[in-house]
Chain A
Amino acid sequence: MNLLRAILLLIIFISPIKANTIFNIIKIPNLEIYEINTKNKLKYFYAAAPFRLGVQKNIACSNPSKKDLEIKYKTIYKNLSRYSYNYLKMINLKYIVMCENLSISELYTAGIPDNIMKTLILDIKFDENYFERVIHHEVFHIMYLQHKKIFNDEEWIKLNNSNFKYAKCSTCTKNIGLEKYYKTEGFFTEYSKSTASEDMAEVYSHMIYLEKNEIEQIRKLPFR
C-alpha cells in the first residue's frame, strides 16, 4: 500500500500541471472547443474522449466521430440560433456539450440540462426522428430549473383530468414514447404523461418546433 502511495505521489510530482479552461469553467473533462463565435454567444464543445460525471460518476458520454459532429452541429446550431443572447442569458444557458451515448445511471437520455453550470449536454446520436424537438425540450428544462418559482407544478396538474396521475419520476415509467399523438387529448406524447415538468417540456418543445398551422389545429382540439 505504501509503495502504491509512493508511486502515486511520484506520478503527481513529476506530472506537469495542465490547465484546462473548459474544465475549470464547466467541470466536464475531455472537452474541446467546437465553435465559440456564435451570434447568441453560445459556446459549443465536443467530447474529445469519453467522460464521466457526477459524485458517483453515474453520468457517462462518449466522443462522437468528426462526421457525426459536423452533421449534428449544424442541426443543433440551427435550432439554438432561434434563441437570442438575452433569452439564453435569462435562462442561464451558455455552453453546449456534444457527445454520444449519453446516459445517467446506465439509462440513455437525450440531454442533461444544468442551469448552475449554464450547460446543456446533448447526445448527438439520439433518435433522429425527435432530435431537433428534443433540443427545445432540454432548453425548457434549463429554463424550468433556473426559474423554478415561476413554474407551478400543482397548478399544471390541475389542468389534467382529475383521474389522471403522473408517474413518480420521469424514469419511473416505461411509457416514454416521443411520437406525437394523433389525438392529443391533453398530452402531446406518451412521455408527456411521465411528470408535470416533462409534460411542460413536451408542450414547450412542440410549440417551438411545430409549424404555426399545426399549433392552430391543436388549439382547436377540445380541452382536457
Chain B
Amino acid sequence: MIKEIKASKFEKITLIFLILLGIITFGTYLIIKDKCLFVKNFDPNNINFIKPNNITILNAPCGNVIIELYPTISPNGVKRFVTLIKSNAYEDIAFHRVIKNKLVQAGDLEFGKKGSLNYRKIGTGKSGLGSIKSEIDNDFNYTKGSVGLARTFKNDTEDSQFFIILQDEPLFEGEYTPIGKVLYGLEILKKIKHQRNSEYILRPDFINSFKMLK
C-alpha cells in the first residue's frame, strides 16, 4: 500500500515558483518575438487631413505610415512618386537599406522585389521610367520623418528609390529632393528590420502596400 505523502510547504513554494518562471519566460519570449507589440497603428480613416489628396499610406510590417506629400516643393519628384504608388509598383519591395534610428530606404523596383531579391545588386535598380532632375533649390528642413528621393553620387539621377529619415539631418537640405513628411507612424519605421553591422539587410522587411488616400 502506497502511503500518501503530503507536499511540504517548501515544495509547494518551489512548484509555484517554477510555474511563475515558466509563465514569465514564455511571456517574455512572446514579447521579444513580436516586435510590433507596443507600436501604435494608425487608421487613416479616423484622421482628418487638411490636404487629403496629398496623403499616402505606406503599410509596413508593424502598421501604417501616413505621409503627406509636398508637390509644391518638388513637383516632378512627387509626380514620379505618385505614379509609382498608383501603379502599385512599391508593393512587396524591400526596405533594403536601414540604419538604426537614422534612416530607412526602399524602392528598388528592379532588384528589391520579394521573391526575386538580388542581394548583389540591390540598391542599384531602376524603375524603367528613367531618372528625373533633382529638385533641391527650395528651402526644406530635413527634420525627423522627412521623405526624400534617393540618388546616385550625381544629381539628376533620382528615380524610384526613396528614404525616410528617423532623425534630423540638416545636411540633407540642398542635397536630396524632398517629397514629403511622415505625419503618423514614425515608430513603425523604427521597427523595420536593421542589422547592427551593415546598412544593407539580409532577409529584409518589405512594403506590404503603398496607396494614395484618395
A-B pairs under 8 A by CB, number: 30
In chain B, positions 101-148 with a C-beta closer than 8 Å to chain A are 102-103, 137
Say whether B48 faces chain A, with CB atoms less than 8 Å apart. no
Say whether A53 faces chain B, with CB atoms less than 8 Å apart. no
- Check A12 against B99 for contact (C-beta < 8 Å): no
Checking B137, B171, B196, B198 against A21 with a beta-carbon cut-off of 8 angstroms, the contacting residue is: B171
Complex interface: chain B residues within 8 A of A89 (CB):
137
Say whether A55 faces chain B, with CB atoms less than 8 Å apart. no
- Check A41 against B174 for contact (C-beta < 8 Å): yes
Measured CB to CB, the nearest residue on chain A to B139 is A41
Measured CB to CB, the nearest residue on chain B to A11 is B197
Contacts A17-B99, A19-B99; is A36 near B171 (CB within 8 Å)? yes
Complex interface: chain A residues within 8 A of B171 (CB):
21-22, 25, 33, 36, 43
Complex interface: chain A residues within 8 A of B195 (CB):
17
Question: In the complex the two chains form, what is the Cα distance from A142 to B171 in whole Å?
Answer: 21
B1 to chain A minimum Cβ distance, whole angstroms, is: 64
A35 to chain B minimum Cβ distance, whole angstroms, is: 11
Say whether A14 faces chain B, with CB atoms less than 8 Å apart. yes
Complex interface: chain A residues within 8 A of B175 (CB):
25
Measured CB to CB, the nearest residue on chain A to B172 is A21
B166 to chain A minimum Cβ distance, whole angstroms, is: 11
A–B complex contacts, Cβ < 8 Å, 30 sampled:
A12-B197, A13-B197, A14-B197, A15-B197, A16-B196, A16-B197, A17-B99, A17-B100, A17-B195, A17-B196, A17-B197, A17-B198, A17-B199, A19-B99, A19-B102, A19-B103, A19-B199, A21-B169, A21-B171, A21-B172, A22-B171, A25-B171, A25-B175, A33-B171, A36-B170, A36-B171, A41-B174, A43-B171, A89-B137, A94-B174
Closest 4 CB pairs of A and B: A19-B99, A19-B102, A16-B196, A21-B171
- How many residues of chain A have a CB within 8 Å of chain B? 16
B161 to chain A minimum Cβ distance, whole angstroms, is: 15
A40 to chain B minimum Cβ distance, whole angstroms, is: 12
In chain B, positions 33-72 with a C-beta closer than 8 Å to chain A are none
Question: In the complex the two chains form, what is the Cα distance from A59 to B156 in whole Å?
Answer: 29
Question: In the complex the two chains form, what is the Cα distance from A146 to B41 in whole Å?
Answer: 49
Map CB proximity to B onto A150-178 as digits: 1 under 8 Å, 0 otherwise: 00000000000000000000000000000
In chain A, positions 21-78 with a C-beta closer than 8 Å to chain B are 21-22, 25, 33, 36, 41, 43
Question: In the complex the two chains form, what is the Cα distance from A89 to B173 in whole Å?
Answer: 13
B92 to chain A minimum Cβ distance, whole angstroms, is: 26
Complex interface: chain B residues within 8 A of A17 (CB):
99-100, 195-199
Map CB proximity to A onto B157-182 as digits: 1 under 8 Å, 0 otherwise: 00000000000011110110000000
B170 to chain A minimum Cβ distance, whole angstroms, is: 6
Complex interface: chain B residues within 8 A of A19 (CB):
99, 102-103, 199
